[in-house]
Amino acid sequence: MRNPYSPGAGSPPPALVGRDSHLDAFDIAVQRLGIGRAAKSQMLTGLRGVGKTVLLREFGRTAESHGWTHVPTEATEDQRFVESMAALVRKALLRLSAGRRATERARRALGILRSFLVRWNLPDGGELALGFDSVPGFADSGALDDDLAGLFAALGGLARERHTGVLFTVDEVQYLSRDELSALIVGLHRVSQDQLPFMIAGAGLPSLPALAGEAKSYAERLFSFPVIDSLPSGEASEALSAPAAEEGVDWQHDALARIVNLTDGYPYFLQEFGKQAWDVADGPDQITITDVEAAIPVAVHELDSGFFRARIGRTTNNERAYLAAMASLGPGPHGSGKVAAAIGKTTTQVGPHRDALIKRGLCYSPRHGIIDFTVPMFDEFIRRWTA
CB atoms within 10 A of CB 146: 17
Residues 350-378: pLDDT tens digits? 999 999 999 999 999 998 999 999 999 99
Burial class (CB in 10 A: 0-12, 13-18, 19+), 3: middle
Other residues' Cβ atoms within 10 Å of the Cβ of residue 174: 21
Q: Does residue 11 fall inside a structural domain?
A: no
The Cα 265–Cα 288 span in angstroms is 19
Specify the pLDDT at position 124.
Answer: 63
Examine the domain organization and report whether 47 and 165 are in the same domain.
yes
Q: For 17, what's the count of Cα atoms within 13 Å in the CB-facing half-sphere?
A: 25
User: Within this chain, do residues 145 and 215 fall inside the same structural domain, yes or no?
Assistant: yes
Position 126 scores a pLDDT of 47
In a domain, 54, yes or no: yes
Is residue 3 domain-resident? no
* Domain-ending residue, one of 167, 201, 224: 224
CATH number at residue 317: 1.10.10.10
Decide if pLDDT at 248 tops 80. yes
CA atoms within 13 A on the CB side of 360: 20
One domain for residues 216 and 249: no
Q: Are residues 251 and 108 in the same domain?
A: no
| Position 156 in a domain | yes
Q: Whose CA is closest to 167, among 186, 145, 191?
A: 191
Percentages (nearest 5) of helix, strand, coil residues in the chain:
55, 10, 35
* Structural domain of 170: 19-224
Peptide bond into 333 cis (omega under 30): yes
Same domain, 186 and 99: yes
**Quick one: pLDDT at residue 131?**
59
Do 199 and 256 have their domain in common? no
Residue 13 lies in a domain: no
Mean per-residue pLDDT of the chain = 92
Same domain, 317 and 289: no
User: How high is the pLDDT of residue 335?
Assistant: 97
Amino acid at position 201, single letter: A
Where residue 157 falls among pLDDT bands split at 50, 70, 90?
very high
Asked if residue 14 belongs to a domain, the reply is no
Give the domain CATH number at 266.
1.10.8
Are 141 and 252 part of one and the same domain? Answer: no
Q: Contact at 8 Å (CB) between 219 and 185?
A: yes
- The count of other CB atoms within 10 Å of the CB of residue 116 is 26
Q: What is the pLDDT of residues 269-325, one digit of tens each?
A: 999 999 999 999 987 899 999 999 999 999 999 999 999 998 898 899 999 999 999
Q: Are both 53 and 155 inside the same structural domain?
A: yes
Model's pTM, two decimal places? 0.92
- Do 209 and 85 have their domain in common? yes
Peptide bond into 284 cis (omega under 30): yes
Alpha carbon distance 247, 228 (integer Å): 28
Q: What is the DSSP letter of 174?
A: G
Residue 153 shares a structural domain with residue 25: yes
pLDDT score for 6 = 87
The total number of structural domains in the chain stands at 3
